[in-house]
Chains A and B, each alone.
Chain A
């Protein structure tokens, strides 16, 4: 099993997710109560004593049970529900950390934004955030409608082509939180997972500093290394970007930090030498219809060299 997968849906780790889970439990309890009352009334109507049955059919019972009860209960629930979830529509402060997550068939493009909302760091399928602070995500789509859902941190929000939807997520404890595309987007939609990793602030700042430095520098692997040469000659570079190398393709996930990702294939496989090789050799057997071609003609030692090269990208 992968860390944080499958994501438990009623185990909140942040304020907005907590409000949603609480509301879900309250609604469930109310539904159970109403069902109980209805069943009891039915039993009474079928086999209760005659005078009770007469009372149940009387005008008073209808006014109380059919009108007053639902009006009062539903109004109270509405007010309670709205106040519980009002933080979700609270205005943004404006100085929150921001990132852009773009849904693609069938993976996620990630860009960290600076205070001017310009992308400063590119990644894919994984988002790192600091603990205890709200993080604002700009949700977009590169093709069809997807839905961004990390159940332990926030509700669902659609990613719609041509629009930018804003969601706020927050983790109140460090950890790895699984996500899943929640709007059917064709083909391997069910295999379109996501990972959020929450770090203590200091650790997070450190990670961002080292990643920004890495992205601004040349890759530590010499371009003469066998894996680096294969990455160009096998055509990988046409679809994938690795900062500080000639690889600049945008059709597939950015691989600058792929060696340190928790998962491969958009949140679906653990990341180790074996899964990396299996993915490169034939990702179609793992995630049918995904947009990366299989490399069944590459000899084993080439797959191995490519995996070694990619593992070093971190």
Chain B
């Protein structure tokens, strides 16, 4: 499995527009407010208040949140599996 790459993750976040709902450290614009800000992802115990905060789980969550948290407002996003791992790496790194 290729190593996750935070800088590729940042580009993926910009391409699909996660920041239209989230304020994300390291992303200058936009600073969306429909979802929670994503600061300090590395220190959190839980993702979305209920999933164990591990890289593999975060990667699956950012790609298809409703599959892991039925009823969540966060929609599935058009990321490939590889991109979602990169995105998780970026979130852990940028919010330290």
Contact = CB atoms under 8 A, between A and B. Distances in A.
Interface stretch (B26-34, B46-54, B85-93): B26-34
B78 A277 contact: no
A274 B78 CA distance: 9
18 contacts: A1-B11, A1-B15, A272-B16, A274-B17, A274-B18, A274-B77, A275-B20, A278-B32, A278-B35, A281-B21, A285-B33, A286-B20, A286-B32, A296-B33, A303-B34, A303-B73, A304-B73, A307-B75
Chain A's interface size range is: 20 to 34
Interface residues of B, number: 21
Contact of A281 (B18, B34, B72): B34
Interface string A268-291: 011011110111011001110000
A300 interface: yes
A282 B33 contact: yes
Contacts, number: 62
B20 A278 contact: yes
Interface in B34-63: 34-35
Contacts of B11: 1
Contacts of B34: 277-278, 281-282, 285, 303
B32 A272 contact: no
Contacts of A274: 16-18, 20-21, 74-75, 77
B29 to A, nearest CB: 8
A136 B16 CA distance: 33
Binding site secondary structure of chain B: loop
B32 to A, nearest CB: 5
Contacts of A275: 16-17, 20
A158 to B, nearest CB: 27
A117 to B, nearest CB: 37
B76 A273 contact: yes
A275 B19 CA distance: 8
User: Among A274, A275, A282, A300, which residue has the most Cβ atoms of chain B within 10 A?
Assistant: A274
A21 to B, nearest CB: 28
Contact of A285 (B18, B30, B72, B74): B30
A296 B73 CA distance: 13
A30 to B, nearest CB: 38
10 closest Cβ pairs, A-B complex: A300-B73, A278-B20, A281-B34, A278-B21, A285-B33, A275-B17, A286-B30, A275-B20, A273-B75, A282-B33
